[in-house]
Structure formats: structure tokens, C-alpha cells
Amino acid sequence: MAEKRLKQTLCDAAERGDTVRVKQLIEEGANPNNAADDHLKRTPLHLAVEKGHHETVSALLAAGADANIQDYEQRTPLHLAAKRGRNETVSALLAAGADVNVQDRQRRTPLHLAAENGQHETVSALLAAGADVNGRDKWKMTPLHLAAENGHPKTVSALLAAGADGNVQDDERRTPLHLAAETGHHKTVSALLTAAADLGVKVQDMLQGTPPHLAAEKGHHETVSALLAAGADVNARDRQGGTPLHRAAEKGHHGTISGFLAAGADVNVQDTLDLNPT
């Protein structure tokens, strides 16, 4: 069989989890480290991992597949296994020498992808293998930022327990709490506050907005309540001089407005345009 066809046939067999055929093709001379002829440039190992074919993964590793080979996005098989929460495969790849802190094109590690997708068991396995809990991607986001933004409270708790910095800021000066507040994941907000009571409910982002500013703008009144209960400043001012109440009023979030008023928000404070919330 011609080399190019042999390569593609092996990729196809790995992707569908045909372990017998994979072994046969390798015996015929197929190289398990040759990538498919597509834009992603994934190897048979990438493809088997992506589809969850653990037996095929084991066969490829036994045949010499490189556990650290990268595709077009510079992702290794461990990135893909971590993203999908394929814990058995994660263990096999680590045992085969996979680099737990390898970065993809966005400088994200397998831990970033596991955290982003709420794979808390995988997160624990990667941390036990030495993953950097405070590693930063190209936007200076840590795994905790991604877990918080996507509303994964169990993952947030696991990362904080492992030493994640709860007050770390990304390139827009947003903390994990900013992101959880903006997206309205109040259970995640509670997990952040419970695990680390000193988290910065008053920390300002690039526009000097606090977590309550972001929650107010989106109308997340449960999140606002949790933040205020944790000591957030109800009258904090952003770069334009606006308070969280300004943002809630501008967007017409009546339930959130009521919460701020009950907490003592100043209805007469003016922003830089001399506008008050009312």
C-alpha cells in the first residue's frame, strides 16, 4: 500500500476505534506519528483520543506513538483528553510521558481546557501530576478564570484548594470573580467567596468596574445579592463615575435595582456626565 494511503488508512482506523486494523496497519509499516492530510494535522493518537477509543490509544502508544506530538493548534493528545474528561486516557498519556504543562497556540495547558469544560476529576488528576494551577494563557487567564467564567463551582473549589490565586487578574484586569459575576453563575460566585472569603469583591477591572458593576449590567440579581452580602461596595464608582445602580438602571433590570436600593445604594450620585441612576 502506498505510504500516503497507508497513513490516511491508519488515521481513519484510529478515528473509528478499529484497534485490530490499527495494529495490522502498523505491522505493514504505517507510521503512528504521521498526521492526517487535513488542516488540523492530527495524528492517529489525536484522533483516537478525541473519539474516546482508549483501547486504540493504548495500542498506538505501545507502537511508539509520540504522546507529546502537537497538531496545527499545537495541542497534544493530552489537551484533547483533558478537554473531554477522558480520565483513563489522561492517565495512560501521562504514564507514556506526556508533558502536563505543555501549551497550545493560545498558551493554554491541558489544565486550562479541563477547567474550562468543568472536568473536575480530570483537573484533580492533572494537578496531582504537577500541573501549574496558576499558569496563564495568551490573555493572562488562569484555569480558575476559565472555570469561573463557564460556571463550574466544583472545578473552582478544586483549583482553589490546590492553591489557585483567587485574585489573579487577566489582561483586562478581570479576576475570576469578575467573570463569574458577569456571566451570572451565582453558585460559582458563592464557591469563590466560600473558599476564599478575602476575594476582592472591590477589585476593579480595566474600566474600574467591580464584580457588582458587571453583575448589575447583566441583571444577575442573585449574584448581586451574594456579592453585597460578602461586603462589596454598593456605591463603587467606575471610570465614568457610575455605580452598579447606574448600570442596572440603564439596562432596566428592575429586580436588580430593587436589590441595590434595599442595600442602601445612593440614588443621587452622579457620573461624569452628571447623570444619576434615576
Asked whether residue 55 is assigned to any structural domain, the reply reads yes
Tell me if 67 is assigned to some domain: yes
Asked whether residue 190 is domain-assigned, the answer is: no
The pLDDT, as a whole number, for residue 198 is: 59
Phi, psi of 22 (to 5 degrees): -60, -50
- Residues lower than pLDDT 50 in the chain: none
Q: Note whether residue 71 is domain-resident.
A: yes
**Three-class HEC string of 168-212:** CCCCCCCCHHHHHHHHCCHHHHHHHHHHCCCCCCCCCCCCCCCHH
- CATH number of the domain within which 59 lies: 1.25.40.20
Segments forming the whole domain that contains residue 50: 1-99
User: How much is the pLDDT for 195?
Assistant: 74
pTM value is 0.93
In the numeric block, the cell 496531582 is attached to 128
Query: In this structure, is residue 136 part of a structural domain?
Result: no
What pLDDT, on the 0 to 100 scale, is given for residue 1?
A: 52
Residue 189 falls inside a structural domain:
no
Within-domain flag for 153: no
pLDDT at residue 201, as a whole number: 80
Residue-averaged pLDDT of the chain: 95
At 5 the pLDDT is 85
Question: For the segment 199-219, what is each residue's pLDDT rounded down to a tens digit?
Answer: 678 888 988 999 999 999 999
pLDDT digits (tens, 9 = 90+) for 65-110: 999 999 999 999 999 999 999 999 999 999 999 999 999 999 999 9
Tally the domains of the chain.
1
Rg (CA), the chain: 24
Contact 10, 30 (CB under 8 A): yes
Instruction: Give residue 161's pLDDT.
Output: 95
Does 28 fall in a domain? yes
Grid coordinates given for 157:
473549589
